[in-house]
């Protein structure tokens, strides 16, 4: 059966991790879902995420905030139980929380490697594993993972652990897409290039030589915005994107074309 393309956003529950950061992709995505009318579960380790849920409610949609560490499985299980109790179902999962530790492979300790892998890759596996049974039961789901240009071609300003984690995210995405295709569940990744957030300390005001050099490499001649990434995520999360699965969607101004 071809799924309904006009599924009402108001019926949908979207879980977004890493939704706290002030200029971040996760916050923009959560706000975007709220503006579409979806119910939003905004998750972050920073309690500031409460502000995001409050803003979504003020704009007229349902939202709750949950403060947790995505590297702690027990906290994830507890949170998703709470979401299912409160909303009854989960339609959309956006695995967005991430960290970077710019560092040379020569200096990366085992614990730093494990922290980046746990945050940027393993947490997406755990969240996905936890939401799948409820999605399978309803034969509907949209999972969107955040990869990175670093996972596709090696890092620019991040470490090898970050590149490895983001490459792993692409493998996880493709596998989940294949294994869950028969349940009406799609799984895609969005792979941003240089986006103006606080990630990695690269800010709008940074007019340094490094920034100028990077801009020359980007055909669009500019960095991207969190809004541009959020819009792509929300399209992939929409009923209209039901025949797109296992894709890695680049949002990078042409910086990496494959
Ligand atoms: N900004 C970019 O240029 C860029 C490029 C490629 C990929 N990405 C990816 O996009 C995603 C979002 O990036 P962003 O630029 O919005 O970053 P950001 O730093 O602005 O936001 C990341 C959020 O994740 C949260 N977080 C980190 N570790 C956590 C943990 N253990 N538990 C719970 N929350 C945690 C942070 O508190 C923060 O709110 C990341 O996965 C990142 O790797 C970003």
Domain ranges of the chain: 13-198+206-251
120 DSSP assignment: I
Spell out the residues 6+ positions from residue 67 whose beta carbon is closer than 8 angstroms to its own.
43, 44, 45, 46, 47, 49, 50
Beta-bridge mates of residue 15: 41, 93
Strand positions, DSSP E, the chain: 13-17, 39-44, 63-67, 92-95, 141-146, 185-192, 248-251
Active site residues: 162
* Cα gap 40→75, rounded to integer Å: 18
Q: Given the CA of residue 147, which atom of ligand 1 is nearest to it?
A: 7
- Residue 91 Cα to ligand 1 middle (Å): 22
Q: Which ranges of the chain have pLDDT less than 50?
A: 201, 203
Q: Tens digits of per-residue pLDDT, 32-58?
A: 999 999 999 999 999 999 999 999 999
Ligand 1 within 6 A of 142 CB? no
Q: Tens digits of per-residue pLDDT, 112-129?
A: 999 999 999 999 999 999
* pLDDT at site 4: 67
Specify whether the CB–CB gap between 71 and 97 falls below 8 A: no
Q: What angle do CA 160, 203, 220 make, to 5 degrees?
A: 80
* pLDDT at site 223: 93
Spell out the residues 6+ positions from residue 222 whose beta carbon is closer than 8 angstroms to its own.
215, 253
* pLDDT at site 211: 75
- Residue 1 Cα to ligand 1 middle (Å): 37
The three-state secondary structure class of 166 is helix
User: Residue 136: how many CB atoms within 10 A of its CB?
Assistant: 15
- Residue 97 Cα to ligand 1 middle (Å): 5
Residue nearest to atom 36 of ligand 1 (CA): 18
Distance linking the first and last C-alpha atoms of the chain: 33
3-state secondary structure 202-251: CCCCCCCHHHHHHHHHCCCCCCECHHHHHHHHHHHCCHHHCCCCCCEEEE
- Residue 27 Cα to ligand 1 middle (Å): 10
Ligand 1 within 6 A of 255 CB? no
- Closest among 210, 214, 130 to 176, alpha carbons compared: 130
Q: Given the CA of residue 192, which atom of ligand 1 is nearest to it?
A: 6
State whether the Cα torsion 203-190-153-119 is positive or negative. positive
- Indicate the CATH number for domain 13-198+206-251: 3.40.50.720
88 DSSP assignment: S
Specify whether the CB–CB gap between 226 and 197 falls below 8 A: yes
Ligand 1 within 6 A of 46 CB? yes
Q: Given the CA of residue 198, which atom of ligand 1 is nearest to it?
A: 20
Ligand 1 within 6 A of 119 CB? yes
Ligand 1 within 6 A of 18 CB? yes
Q: Given the CA of residue 49, which atom of ligand 1 is nearest to it?
A: 39
Q: What angle do CA 47, 50, 55 make, to 5 degrees?
A: 150
Residue nearest to atom 43 of ligand 1 (CA): 98
- Residue 222 Cα to ligand 1 middle (Å): 20
* pLDDT at site 201: 47
């Amino acid at each position: 059966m071809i799924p309904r393309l006009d599924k009402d956003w108001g019926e949908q529950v979207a879980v977004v991790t890493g939704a706290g950061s002030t200029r971040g992709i996760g916050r923009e995505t959560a706000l975007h879902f709220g503006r579409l009318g979806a119910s939003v579960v905004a998750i972050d380790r920073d309690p500031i995420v409460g502000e995001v849920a409050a803003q979504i409610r003020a704009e007229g949609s349902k939202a709750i905030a949950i403060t947790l560490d995505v590297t702690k499985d027990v906290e994830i299980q507890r949170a998703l139980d709470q979401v299912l109790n409160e909303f009854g179902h989960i339609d959309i999962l956006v695995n967005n929380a991430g960290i970077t530790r710019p560092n040379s492979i020569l200096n990366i300790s085992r614990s730093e490697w494990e922290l980046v892998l746990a945050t940027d890759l393993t947490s997406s596996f755990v969240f996905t594993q936890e939401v799948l049974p409820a999605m399978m039961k309803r034969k509907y789901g949209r999972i969107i993972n955040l990869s990175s240009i670093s996972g596709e071609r090696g890092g620019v300003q991040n470490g090898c652990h970050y590149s490895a984690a983001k490459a792993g995210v692409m493998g996880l995405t493709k596998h989940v897409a294949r294994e869950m295709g028969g349940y009406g569940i799609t799984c895609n990744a969005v792979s941003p290039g240089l986006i103006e957030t606080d990630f990695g300390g690269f800010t709008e005001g940074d007019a340094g030589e490094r920034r100028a050099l990077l801009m020359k490499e980007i055909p669009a001649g500019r960095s991207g915005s969190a809004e541009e990434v959020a819009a792509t995520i929300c399209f992939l999360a929409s009923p209209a994107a039901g025949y797109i699965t296992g894709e890695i969607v680049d949002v990078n101004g042409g910086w990496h074309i494959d």
